[in-house]
Amino acid sequence: MSNTHDEALLAQVAALPALPGVYRYFDAQEQLLYVGKALNLKRRVSSYFQKDHGGTRIGHMVSKITRMETTVVRSEAEALLLENNLIKTLHPRFNILFRDDKSYPYLKLTGNGRVALPAVVKTPEAQHYPRVAYYRGAVEKKHRYFGPFPSAWAVKESIQLIQKVFRLRTCEDTVFANRTRPCLLFQIKRCSGPCVNLISPEDYKADVQHAEQFLRGETQALMREMEARMMQHADKLEFELAAEVRNQLTALSRVLHQQSVDTAVDTDADILVAKVQGGRACVNLAMVRGGRHLGDRPYFPVHVQDAQDLLGLEEGEAPIPVEVQVLEAFLAQHYIGVPVPPLLILSAAVDKALIAALSAQSGVKISTVKNPREHRRVWLEMAEKNAELQLARLLAEEGSQQARTRALAEALDLAPDDLDQLHIECFDISHTAGENTQASCVVFRQHKMQSSDYR
């Protein structure tokens, strides 16, 4: 055991059980350094203190440890989930962190579809005509939600498609209740005018059901159903109604053909690519929902260099590639509280125990594909290209920021040993004729302004 640590700490390490669990290291200031999981707590934690790690990142971290906490769990899967819950909430210094916790937007259809329709409609009521809307936040059972989507733009584009094909309303209930004549959306054929009784609740409900089928990716069944309805209207000589359905079919076909990838197999999938270059990493997440490719979203983890050497310490373990470490960290942290699709298309193979834990947590049987074919291959190649572009953009921006920091240090006649550690605070104090004094502080650190430290 190491001679540089307190005897009480070393005794605690020696007394650890050979069971699965999670361990947490703290420094003298009670700052959390690292959170890790182990199939065998005693063997894993002991490996930190029994070896001489020299001047490596591991050695730097181990030298700071003054206190340790452990939690024993029943299985490796539980350890995985607990580890990443703690990482996401506590932000330890030496773990790979994904700090973008913005919630994802959804497309919302108001109501649950179980409201009884009136036999005779005198004054239209909003509850009988569900509204399609953009939504971000916690989902509620009284409404229907589709998503999540990677961006607000993807939701708004889907709403426009639904307006164009199915002509569902987007107006607020208060606006709906006070309309006396159709709005502009009705005039340009983006709404069927339920607010002024220009469509029956039954017909509007059918349009809502068709929109749901479209959002779930049931496009082939939907088109067959619409074709049958068009022929029924034609057989009854209801040519105007048949023409309406025909126009919907045409618009729907155009939408489907505009998709960069057309598939009738995969309805929900996430495509994940990890790229590492120049000490920085990018995970690009592309989403397919209802068979439609909705775009992608990049994530840039921090502490990649610090975390890289802290994995694979047990005897006989092979080093884990950085891309795999980053990808596994993203999977474990990102899908806490976020719905997981049944298919994950990955740029690298990940630990099967992690996927099993995600399946158990979400209640969804998750399958992964590393070397996809056909349309899945196209999706993966698109995500890989976007990851490369986003990472190149980040490195270019950081290079420019470092150049500005160097120029600033020279202008202020400063000569810091490490420009990365240059910390500047600027204060501005103002008053009105000696009264109502106000002060503000802005902080420049790590080559950029730190908006979270603004005071």
Percentage of the chain modeled with pLDDT above 70 = 89
pLDDT for 343 beyond 90: yes
pLDDT for 175 beyond 70: yes
Which residues are CB-neighbours of 2 under 8 A, at least 6 positions away? 10, 49, 50, 62
**Greater model confidence, 122 or 300:** 300
Reduced 3-state DSSP string for the chain: CCCCCCHHHHHHHHCCCCCCEEEEEECCCCCEEEEEEECCHHHHHHHHHHCCCCCCHHHHHHHHCCEEEEEECCCHHHHHHHHHHHHHHHCCCCCCECCCCCCCEEEEECCCCCCCCCCCCCCCCHHHCCCEEEEECCCCCCCEEECCCCCHHHHHHHHHHHHHHHCCCCCCHHHHHCCCCCCHHHHCCCCCCHHHCCCCHHHHHHHHHHHHHHHCCCHHHHHHHHHHHHHHHHHCCCHHHHHHHHHHHHHHHHHHHHCCCCCCCCCEEEEEEEEEECCEEEEEEEEEECCEEEEEEEECCECHHHHHCCCCCCCCCCCCCHHHHHHHHHHHHHCCCCCCCCEEEECCCCCHHHHHHHHHHHCCCCEEECCCCHHHHHHHHHHHHHHHHHHHHHHHHHHHHHHHHHHHHHHCCCCCCCHHHCEEEEEEEEEECCEEEEEEEEEEECCEECHHHCC
Residue 334 lies in a domain: yes
Mean pLDDT value of segment 181-185: 91
What's the distance, CA 143 to chain centroid?
22
Residue 257 lies in a domain: no
Last residue of a domain, one of 67, 95, 123: 95
Which has the closest alpha carbon to 145: 111, 169, 102?
Answer: 111
Last residue of a domain, one of 217, 237, 254: 217
**What tens digit of pLDDT does each residue of 355-407 get?**
988 898 888 899 999 988 888 898 899 999 999 998 888 888 777 777 777 77
Mean pLDDT value of segment 66-76: 90
Residue 222 lies in a domain: no
Q: What is the band of 310 on the pLDDT scale with cuts at 50, 70, 90?
A: low
Residues 295 and 180 in one domain: no
Cα separation, 208 vs 156, in Å, equals 17
Both structure tokens of 130 = 């569900």
**What tens digit of pLDDT does each residue of 252-298 get?**
665 554 444 444 455 789 999 999 988 789 999 998 887 778 888 89
Lowest average pLDDT, out of 151-165, 190-204, 236-250, goes to 236-250
Residues 301 and 364 in one domain: yes
Question: Per DSSP, what are the bridge partners of residue 428?
Answer: 440
The tokens 């740029």 sit on which residue?
Answer: 347
Percentage of the chain modeled with pLDDT above 90 = 21
Cα separation, 198 vs 290, in Å, equals 30
Residues 163 and 59 in one domain: no
User: Which domain CATH number covers 21?
Assistant: 3.40.1440.10
Residues 135 and 159 in one domain: yes
Residues 408 and 435 in one domain: no
Residues 59 and 116 in one domain: no
Residue 240 lies in a domain: no
Residue 259 lies in a domain: no
Both structure tokens of 244 = 């309406």
Residue 231 lies in a domain: no
Residues 109 and 89 in one domain: no
Cα separation, 383 vs 398, in Å, equals 22
Q: What is the band of 453 on the pLDDT scale with cuts at 50, 70, 90?
A: confident
Q: So what's the pLDDT on residue 221?
A: 74
Both structure tokens of 199 = 């469509």
Average pLDDT, the chain: 83
Which residues are CB-neighbours of 251 under 8 A, at least 6 positions away? 164, 165
User: Which domain CATH number covers 344?
Assistant: 3.30.420
In total, how many domains does the chain have? 4
Residues 384 and 298 in one domain: yes
Residues 282 and 403 in one domain: yes
Mean pLDDT value of segment 297-320: 69
Q: So what's the pLDDT on residue 308?
A: 65
Both structure tokens of 42 = 């005693």
pLDDT for 315 beyond 50: no
pLDDT for 314 beyond 50: no
Residue 51 lies in a domain: yes
Last residue of a domain, one of 66, 95, 124: 95
Q: So what's the pLDDT on residue 455?
A: 83
Residue range(s) defining the domain that contains residue 31: 1-95
**What tens digit of pLDDT does each residue of 23-38 get?**
999 998 999 999 988 8
Cα 79 to Cα 48, 94, 96, 109: the distances in Å are 19, 18, 17, 38
Residues 20 and 131 in one domain: no
Mean pLDDT value of segment 223-234: 78
Residues 128 and 77 in one domain: no
Residue 233 lies in a domain: no
On whether the pTM is more than 0.85, the answer is: no
Mean pLDDT value of segment 104-110: 88
Residues 365 and 440 in one domain: no
Mean pLDDT value of segment 12-32: 91
